[in-house]
A and B are shown apart, each in its own frame.
Chain A
């Protein structure tokens, strides 16, 4: 093979994937490891990579503790109810107690954060969200990461984590290839912070053709965070917890600022409020603990995101779609109208493009909403990811085995989408998790836990062959056919992606089946995924760009398999509106008030599933408003 092998040795901290989590890790690592070697590998360009590449108009996770707004446990309580109870409250508490310091640092670095001029605090969009001019959010945090790192390798796609051959279950670095030069890169490192992304494009999207790129989560989020860790034998958690978004139709423009700041609301095609019609039946499925509109009304406790989706889905199925966002009132105010547009330009330009193309002026008409195809990630209103150790001063024994944010593989840390059970971290929380991971990775090295790591040349040679196999395969078989893309010996990456999306859609609860699946469908789906895995061994890449796509689809496939296993394991419908298990339509707290944990044996490919106990923060946690309501009811 003509491509060179380039070895970067003696790395202390390798950041694999530099989105918000990875940049946080690279930045903070320098403080705790001033003499350590910090290297970043990023498959795109760190200045515009990850989910925040096009910017953000809000920071969705900020406590405002110094302005007396919220304490960390308030945020834990919010994330807990939004995810129907299924979160790692130790990790959430930990993230929430640190996140404000990250946000204030962003401001010091030059991020334009809007201020509430009366109070002097940051301008709130909602209880947890603050408004920013964040077009350059990513270039800004990239600047910080570049300042801290010894080296940033742009355009190097990490395909595998390297495992230590001296000690079992210990990480030893990572390998990948340069998308431009084709060089094979070996990073030998004492620790790895996995900052890679969650997964878009594993379920068939609603859009077709060109529009397949207009996914809600970035199309370059290829589930690499999960595939890298699963393939290394790390335990995963809550992978069934995929997310479906209610968003502006086709463009998937954000609705947060519209609901919270612009005070818009939804109604059905006939101008009626529809949610309350579905609540009684829904309450039968999920129980009063999770859906109590009266309590929510009185205490501002949120109605879980998935349950709101459920109402939209059912209203549309009842023939009263589409659902509209009522914007006409708010948009009469020119100031609010401008914010509405800035909101799109700051983070989803495509929605502005669509409204310009379709002459949708929200001042004169109420735009349509829809529910998206599902996504697998861990930093929005969903908590897929790896099973991580928590902080020693917070976590119960089952959640803690050493270093904070370390996975069940020694020396492997994570942040952002990689960390399981921590929804609602968003950009700032992901950055914060990166910081926590970096500090603890330094500690792990200082404690001598990474001594004597060994990686043989044979392993490196074997991995190199595997990485470039799709190109070799193409070279061997392309001349069997005259021309075109139909070849009996291989699929190209696009064909493989189409197959994966159709399979996941139909068997694992995508849009075309109204998010419905069951044990039988999932079992068939798993068999089909297994066969697809065999075919992925024969995937063909005509050039380096296709090699990138080939590895992305391999990563998406592994992520999908894990999602399918978890979905089959949790025999209940915990999140109606995200997906439904037709054979178990109710929330089952007696058997499933637990976190699901899986491990794929890297040698055999077999999954082991287990239930992990669910701990809640209690004590002062009792919602004060809820307590007051109960007290008032008692008096009656």
Chain B
């Protein structure tokens, strides 16, 4: 679709400009509001739609294959940790409301600061282990999988 911006809702805050991965949401210098400057480089990723505090941005399916008269809207709420979707068909026969969680924990609070965790030992540095391993990578208490532990070797040639 590209995305488009409703004139009466946009207040020119620029959140969409800031977030667009494709750098195609820009502020129009005359109207002081955002618009999509390059629809053919729009992925319909909805990053700008989700970021817009005024719900001013919507999507109209790509002109070369999508008929008019449909709607897929999203409201993303970081505090509640959910995203709500509403899909409306062109023929009006389907109107779906879907809700999905976006996080299970308060935002950013459960990511450790690796500067403050105990520093790795020289032994760990010389090993193949990454941070927090071997936790989670084995069912038993063993260490990292190796060719030896798994009874494997690397051999040149064709083997099937």
Contacts and interface: CB of A to CB of B under 8 A. Distances in A.
Nearest to A446: B125
Name which of A54, A353, A356 has the most chain B CB atoms within 10 A of its CB.
A356
Contacts of B159: 616, 618
B100 A66 contact: no
Place the interface of chain A in its size category.
35 or more
- Secondary structure at the A interface, as helix, strand, loop or mixed, is helix
Interface string A343-370: 0011001101110111101000000000
Contacts of B106: 110
Contacts, number: 299
Given A97-B145, A109-B105, A548-B23, A350 B154 contact: no
Interface in A210-233: 210-215, 218-220
Name which of B26, B88, B137 has the most chain A CB atoms within 10 A of its CB.
B137
Interface in B67-115: 67-72, 74, 76, 83, 85, 87-91, 93-94, 96, 98, 100-108, 110-111, 113-115
17 contacts: A48-B45, A66-B137, A90-B154, A93-B152, A97-B137, A101-B136, A110-B103, A112-B101, A133-B100, A136-B103, A210-B63, A357-B70, A358-B90, A548-B23, A615-B155, A618-B154, A619-B147
B41 A219 contact: yes
Contacts of A455: none
A71 B63 CA distance: 47
B44 A358 contact: no
Given A45-B21, A54-B45, A213-B41, A357 B66 contact: yes
B46 interface: yes
Name which of A34, A85, A90 has the most chain B CB atoms within 10 A of its CB.
A34
A394 interface: yes
A453 interface: no
B59 A359 contact: no
Given A144-B111, A615-B155, A357 B61 contact: yes
What are the 6 tightest A-B residue pairs by CB atom distance, in nearest-first order?
A: A110-B105, A350-B44, A54-B45, A356-B70, A211-B62, A620-B151
Contact of B19 (A45, A361, A618): A45
Given A101-B133, A110-B103, A207-B64, A617 B153 contact: yes
A111 interface: yes
Interface stretch (A274-282, A435-443, A476-484): A435-443
A135 B78 CA distance: 11
A271 interface: no
- Secondary structure at the B interface, as helix, strand, loop or mixed, is loop
B43 A66 contact: no
Contact of B83 (A89, A105, A135): A135
B44 A357 contact: no
B160 to A, nearest CB: 4
B158 A593 contact: yes
A103 B137 CA distance: 10
A152 to B, nearest CB: 13
Contact of A98 (B67, B133, B153): B133
A27 interface: yes
A250 interface: yes
A65 interface: yes
